[in-house]
Homo-oligomer: A and B are copies of this chain.
Amino acid sequence: MAVAKESPPVSPRNGADQEAEYRGQTRLWLRLLACTTLIEGELRRRFREEFDFTMPRFDVLAQLDREPSGLVLGELPKRLMVSAGNLTPIVDRLVEDGYITRTPSTLDRRVQIVCMTVEGRKAFRRMAKSHGSWLAELLAEFPAERLDGLIGELDELKGSVRDALQKS
Question: CB-nearest residue of chain B relative to A168?
Answer: B137
Tally of this chain's copies: 2
Provide the residues of chain B in CB contact with A36, threshold 8 Å: 32-33, 36
Q: Interface size on A (CB < 8 Å)? A: 63
- Residues of A participating in the B interface, judged by any CB pair closer than 8 Å: 1-4, 18-19, 21-29, 31-42, 81, 129-142, 144, 146-151, 153-165, 168
Taking a contact as CB atoms under 8 Å apart, the answer to whether B32 and A39 are in contact is yes
Query: Nearest Cβ in chain B — how far from A136, in angstroms?
Result: 4
Of the residues B23, B35, B155, B161, contact of A138 by C-beta under 8 Å: B161
Question: CB-nearest residue of chain B relative to A153?
Answer: B150
Alpha-carbon distance between A164 and B81 when the two chains are bound, in angstroms: 29
